[in-house]
Structure 1
Amino acid sequence: MSLLKFDPWWLLRGAVLGLLAFAIFGPIANLLLWAVAERWYFPHMLPLEYGFSFWARVFAPRGNAMVSLLNSVMIAVLTVGMALLVAIPAGYALARCKLPLRGLILIAFLIPQAFPNLPVYVNIAQLFYQVGLNGTVPGVVIVHVTHGLVYAVWIATAAFSAVDRELEEAARSIGASGLRAFADITLPLAAPGLMASAVFVFLESLDEFTGTYFVGAPDVSTLPLLLYTAGAGGNYQVASITALLLLIPSIGFMLVVERFLKADVLSRVGR
């Protein structure tokens, strides 16, 4: 009878996987516990009482959660619409036309991500206050669009690059106009990539806090602002419930991204 050999690498792998699982699922488990905790304080490792009274407080008319959720979704949808209005023609031009500064144009869309958000938003808030956009939904949408364009334009460019140019040329050869070939051939084939870019922009807008805080608060209330207010006030139950409300659409839309964003599209990003 042979003895099983002990492999230390399996122990190391198990420890690494355990640490990764704890890093990923530990905060989520803590979030779920806080969402149903009635009383929980140090040194107790688990809540002393469980219940849903804080859920009722969050969804009460004075809890402002539903209004904030509707505002967040509305702003995200408007942001997606405006971003796609820019990204579709820009992505098509960058994918099809031989632009001399194509690389610099793509990099230019990264500029809003290259600088610290705080000083940028402070100056934007001052400018918007002078033109009457501070504290308005359009002002918040404009700020969100500037950050969402990097996802929209880059992924749209990759989506149009993944469409075979010969299909469009074949449609033109049988009499279709350029606009008709784009609408009937190129756009439907690029639609999965455009859908993925829309999802990324939606999630970016849904989770945006800094720009919304400086441009929209206190007149425009969103879930990230409500989450910040609850967390800063030490109300971890309300903050956890609000975070769960933000987490649900994020997980759903990431599943949509996994379905629509294919490897052939990703391989063309930046080309």
Structure 2
Amino acid sequence: MVKLLPRALLLALVGFLILGPISNILIWAFAEQWFFPAKLPTEWGFKFWERVFRPRAGAMDAMINSVVIALLTVGVSMLLAVPAGYALARRRMPLRALVMLLFLLPQAIPAVAVHQSIGQIFYQIGLNGTIPGVVLVHTLQGLVFAVWITSASFAAVDRDLEAAARDLGAAPFKVFTSVTLPLALPGLIASAIFVFLGSIDEFTGTFFVGVPDVQTLPILLYTAAMQGNYQIASITSIFLLAPSLLFMVIVERFLKADVAGKIGT
């Protein structure tokens, strides 16, 4: 019993760190009145949910924009990542490690500095305040997951299976579509999900490139929080949290150990 106590305390601490903020969001989402020094809301209800869904509130438009931008970002990212990932995994390329490292640069540099610079460039060429501009800046962030996971997915495919298909007379393109692509598909799906989640949660890129013409859920969340509308911010957070939890369960199923072990190699 004494030996189990440290593990139980550690598990409780981890659970508090994970579930504590989520619990606070859920409480604020249904709180109609909550003033100091009350430990819990004095009035509960759905009044603020009704406000969020009003047409003039803009939440539904922001949700549609977020989903459309995320889907377009997935399309553009995978269109670039599939050939790039295949080439990095299956072709002998000089400075391959450097090329892989280049895709990490947007993550290594502070996001505010990167997106502010991109916003200035996009303003000069007329992409500021447009959905295509927001999609491009989201794609810059999404390519990190797309290329690295896609490359690992193709690297995990057994080359002997491809060789067997060629020995049976299959052309290279037929081998790719019939053998390589289906076997790499679970990793590609996981890559697309990561890109989707990164895009739908992206704030700084949308703020510097899209505002005020393109409104998304993270922008709405930030605006509500800055104005002290914690109920509105919490409800928006739930809309952002729900797909993240769902898709992470799907990723855990598709992103197998042999693929994950080859990421970055």
Q: Which residue of 2 aligns with 1:16?
A: 10
In the TM superposition, residue 161 of structure 1 has moved relative to its aligned partner by: 0.6
Query: What letter is aligned with 1:38?
Result: E
* Aligned residue number for residue 51 of structure 2: 57
CA deviation map 1:107-132 (0-9, x unaligned) = 11001111011122111111101111
Aligned equivalents of 2:44, 2:119: Cα separation in 1:
42
Pairwise mapping of residues 1-271 of structure 1 onto structure 2 (< 5 A)? 7=2, 9-271=3-265
- Partner SS state of residue 268, structure 1: coil
Query: For 1:23-66, what per-residue CA distance to the aligned partner results, in whole angstroms no more than 9, with x for missing partners?
Result: 11111111111000000011111001001010000011011111
Question: Which secondary structure state, in structure 1, belongs to the residue aligned with residue 32 of structure 2?
Answer: strand
- Larger radius of gyration, structure 1 or 2? 1
Further displaced range: 173-182 or 152-161: 173-182
CA distance in 2 between partners of 1:40 and 1:63 (Å): 22
| Secondary structure class of the residue paired with 1:231 | helix
CA distance in 2, matches of 1:48, 1:92: 58
Task: Give 1:10 deviation, angstroms.
Answer: 2.8
Whole-Å separation in 1 of the counterparts to 2:255 and 2:135: 25
Identify the range of structure 1 (53-62 vs 13-22) with the bigger mean alpha-carbon deviation.
Answer: 13-22
Identical positions, percent: 60
What residue ranges of structure 1 are gaps of 5+ in the alignment? 1-5
- The whole-number CA distance in structure 2 between the counterparts of 1:169 and 1:12 is 53
What TM-score does the superposition give when structure 1 sets the normalisation length? 0.96
What is the SS of the residue equivalent to 1:239?
Answer: helix
Query: 1:14 Cα shift?
Result: 2.3
Partners of 2:104 and 2:20 in 1: how far apart? 33
Equivalent pairs, count: 265
Which stretch of structure 1 is more off in the superposition, 21-30 or 222-231? 21-30
What's the RMSD between the two structures over aligned residues?
1.0
Give a deviation string over 1:148-175, Cα, whole Å, max 9, x none: 0010000011100110112112222222
